[in-house]
Amino acid sequence: MSDEIRVEYKIECLVLASGTPLGLSRVTELLNLSPEEIRAAAIRLNEANAAEGRSFTVEERGGVLVAQTRPAFASLVRALREEQTRLSPALLHTLAAVAYRQPVTRAEIEALRGVDSGHAIGRLTELGMVRMAGRADKPGRPLLYRTTDQFLIHFGLPSIDDLPSAEELRTMLDAAAAGRAEITASGAGIP
């Protein structure tokens, strides 16, 4: 096995063993290689994995390396994630408030939702989707919340800038609602 292959497998090992996105700077430090050498090795690893039909790639996203499932395996992983991380409507509403308004305080989330959001924020923090991001420069210095890399990974977003716009979101929700109505109508024997 050549040194080139070993570097690729070291990168694979680090990314998989970390369990969370791993900073490119940390990988360069651990392997004593430049960012360019790490990127080149990740490309070779991805090419080898694709040739062998393996299930993932190693991608750089915003200065971190993440294991990314190849499209052919997406439905399998999606089923597992849905089973492991079912997000209730309350959690989704809270997560949307954080994602679109970040950094945001609990009071601001509650003003948007109209209900107490303490439990939802706590649960999203446990799931690794939301994190504390300092304190607001307001009376009482309330905590600020923002989404995490886990949020991006869960929803398949390269960055927070890739969230759908309000108009795109409305279109998707309308399409989903129309799909449910069509299923309900056909399930009731209505032509």
CATH entry 1.10.10.10 includes domain 85-168: yes
Cβ contact 161:118 at 8 Å: no
User: What's the CA angle centered on 43, arms 37 and 46, to 5 degrees?
Assistant: 140
Q: How far apart are CA 159 and CA 157, in angstroms?
A: 5
Q: How far apart are CA 96 and CA 81, in angstroms?
A: 19
Selected residue with higher pLDDT from 53 and 182: 53
Whether residue 11 is predicted with pLDDT greater than 80 in this model: the reply is yes
Tell me the pLDDT of the chain averaged across its residues: 85
CATH entry 1.10.10.10 includes domain 3-74: yes
Whether residue 185 is predicted with pLDDT greater than 70 in this model: the reply is no
The token pair that represents 31 in the structure block:
């392997």
Express each pLDDT in 105-116 by its tens digit: 999 999 999 999
Sketch the domain layout of the chain as residue ranges: 3-74, 85-168
Instruction: Quote the pLDDT of residue 4.
Output: 52
Instruction: Quote the pLDDT of residue 89.
Output: 87
* 66: β partners: 59
The token pair that represents 67 in the structure block:
């294991």
Query: Do 3-74 and 85-168 show the same overall fold?
Result: yes
Selected residue with higher pLDDT from 156 and 72: 72
Selected residue with higher pLDDT from 117 and 77: 117
Selected residue with higher pLDDT from 136 and 70: 136
* Confidence at 179, pLDDT banded by 50, 70, 90: low
Whether residue 1 is predicted with pLDDT greater than 70 in this model: the reply is no
Whether residue 25 is predicted with pLDDT greater than 50 in this model: the reply is yes
Per-residue pLDDT, averaged over 122-146, amounts to: 94
> Which long-range contacts does 133-136 make (Cβ < 8 Å, 24+ apart)?
133/102, 133/103, 134/103, 136/103, 136/105
DSSP reduced 3-state for 58:
strand
